């Protein structure tokens, strides 16, 4: 085959411009590759996806509780309401939901439970004061049979108090308190009272238990002190479990 025939044969293989073929580009000509499809897809990712997730820190004024040593839940307390709300509204659940933690509860069933929230995502729960069992918060929402959101209500809490495990824990708890009261308090009585020592003990109690200093201004604390003053003999303090 002559050179002219070979040239005609090569030309017949391509209908377009030969210069557009990548592998025919001269090696001495710089080539700027365009973004690949994988690069384009990567560039479309939200920048938040690439940032490390920083866990939300629970303020030291709030108390961590739980049925086990992990203490994965945060206790709601009226005296730390502002700190609680500020923290909870930053959690995943708090940003998209609304719960009135300081609502006045009419039912006596609330006296057997603490309001808590998970320390990681803020999901609202209640914790049984008898046995420490964690249940769904009555104000939290779940999907009903009709697919609509509905509140859990108090029924789960009421049923829980009738379970064998909770009642057994309650009997054991009451027995411990009764036995403790029979033994009395072994705190020595030789120490004399002084205002300076009294103030130091209060400050030590608050700081060691990470309690807010304005606790001493709360009416319930003042009421507790007044009741202690009226005692005719040495007070015996029962060991109360969360």
Checking if the pLDDT of 170 tops 50, the result is yes
Higher-confidence residue of 122 and 225: namely 122
DSSP secondary structure string for all residues of 14-26: -SS-GGG-GGGS-
Q: What percent of the chain has pLDDT over 90?
A: 21
Q: Where does the pLDDT of residue 24 fall: very low under 50, low under 70, confident under 90, or very high at 90 and above?
A: very low
Report whether pLDDT(157) > 80: yes
56: three-class secondary structure by DSSP: coil
Residues whose CB is less than 8 angstroms from the CB of residue 212 and which lie 6 or more positions away in sequence, other chains included: 61, 79, 80, 83, 206
Q: How confident is the model at residue 169 (pLDDT cuts 50, 70, 90)?
A: confident
Which pLDDT tens digit goes with each residue over 175-195? 555 555 455 555 555 567 788
Average pLDDT, the chain: 74
- Indicate the domain borders of the chain: 63-166
| pLDDT confidence tier of residue 238, bands split at 50, 70 and 90 | low
Q: Is 148 helix (H, G, I), strand (E, B) or coil?
A: coil
Tokens representing residue 241 in the block = 């479990």
Considering only residues 37 and 104, tell me which one the structure prediction assigns the higher pLDDT: 104
Provide the whole-model pTM: 0.53
CA–CA gap between residue 212 and residue 228 (Å, rounded): 22
Predicted local confidence at residue 183, as pLDDT: 55
So what's the pLDDT on residue 217?
80
Q: Return the residue matching tokens 């729960």.
A: 125
pLDDT in tens, 118-132: 999 999 999 998 888
Name, in order, each residue with C-beta under 8 angstroms of 86's C-beta and a sequence gap of 6 or more. Answer: 59
How far apart, in whole angstroms, are the C-alpha atoms of residue 164 and residue 167?
5
Residue 160 has pLDDT above 90, yes or no: yes
CB-count burial class (<10 Å; 0-12, 13-18, 19+) for 122: buried
Q: Judge whether 130 and 114 are in contact, CB under 8 Å.
A: no
**Number of residues assigned to the chain:** 242
> Which residues fall within 8 angstroms of residue 138, CB to CB, at 6 or more apart?
126, 151, 152, 153, 154, 156, 157
pLDDT at 1: 56
Question: What average pLDDT does range 3-28 have in this prediction?
Answer: 50
Cβ atoms within 10 Å of 32's Cβ, excluding its own: 4
**Tell me: the pLDDT tens digits for 38-84?**
555 555 555 555 555 567 889 988 999 888 788 899 999 988 999 99
């Amino acid at each position: 085959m002559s050179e002219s025939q070979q040239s005609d044969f090569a030309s017949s293989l391509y209908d377009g411009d030969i210069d557009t073929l990548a592998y025919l580009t001269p090696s001495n000509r710089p080539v700027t590759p365009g973004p690949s499809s994988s690069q384009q897809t990567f560039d479309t990712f939200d920048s938040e996806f690439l940032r490390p997730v920083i866990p939300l820190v629970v303020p030291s004024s709030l108390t961590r509780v739980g049925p086990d040593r992990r203490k994965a839940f945060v206790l709601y307390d009226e005296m730390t309401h502002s700190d609680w709300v500020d923290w909870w509204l930053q959690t995943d659940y708090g940003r998209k939901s609304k719960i009135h933690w300081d609502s006045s509860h009419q039912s006596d069933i609330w006296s057997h439970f603490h309001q808590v929230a998970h320390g990681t995502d803020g999901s609202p729960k209640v914790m049984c004061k008898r046995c420490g069992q964690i249940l769904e918060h009555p104000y939290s929402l779940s999907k009903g049979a009709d697919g609509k959101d509905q509140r859990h209500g108090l029924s789960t809490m009421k049923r829980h108090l009738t379970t064998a495990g909770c009642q057994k824990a309650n009997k054991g708890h009451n027995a411990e308190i009764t036995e403790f009261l029979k033994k009395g308090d072994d705190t020595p009585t030789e120490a004399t009272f002084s205002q300076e020592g009294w103030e130091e003990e209060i400050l030590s109690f608050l700081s060691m238990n990470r309690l807010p200093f304005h606790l001493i201004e709360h009416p319930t604390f003042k009421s507790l002190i007044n009741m202690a003053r009226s005692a005719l003999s040495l007070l015996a303090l029962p060991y109360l479990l969360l």
